[in-house]
A = this chain, B = another copy of it.
Amino acid sequence: MTKQKETARLFKRSPCPVACTLDILGDKWTLLVVRDLFAGKKTYSEFQNSPESIPTNILADRLKRLAGNGIVEKKPYQKHPVRYEYVLTDKGRDLGAVLQAMVQWGERHIPGSKAQMRPVVD
């Protein structure tokens, strides 16, 4: 296998960690769900109550992708009917530094922008 084909097999676009991170998180919604998880939100209705009003189908897709990439863990918290809650894994909590950098950039450069809380970075 050529090196180029080997790279194509391992990575969607390139081995660059920014590109690989954006392959998972590069959209307008995913990091808002991660932000909400840092804020202690766990359930569909809690995520949907955030001020950005994430559409249900996008929320379902993003939670599935986050779970598939080991960033959140899906746990049943109720039976009959079964209901699930979502919590950050260690890999997910490591995204605190990315969120924190965005909070700092946004607060510095977007007038009026203000965080409600700050992600706790280990």
Contacts and interface: CB of A to CB of B under 8 A. Distances in A.
A104 interface: yes
A35 B13 CA distance: 15
Given A18-B32, A18-B102, A18-B103, A10 B52 contact: no
A104 B98 CA distance: 9
Interface residues of A, number: 47
Interface string A52-74: 11000000000000000010000
Interface of A: 10-11, 13-23, 26-29, 31-32, 35, 50-53, 70, 91, 94-95, 97-110, 112-116
Contacts of A112: 10-11, 15
A53 B18 CA distance: 14
Given A51-B14, A52-B13, A114-B15, A106 B20 contact: yes
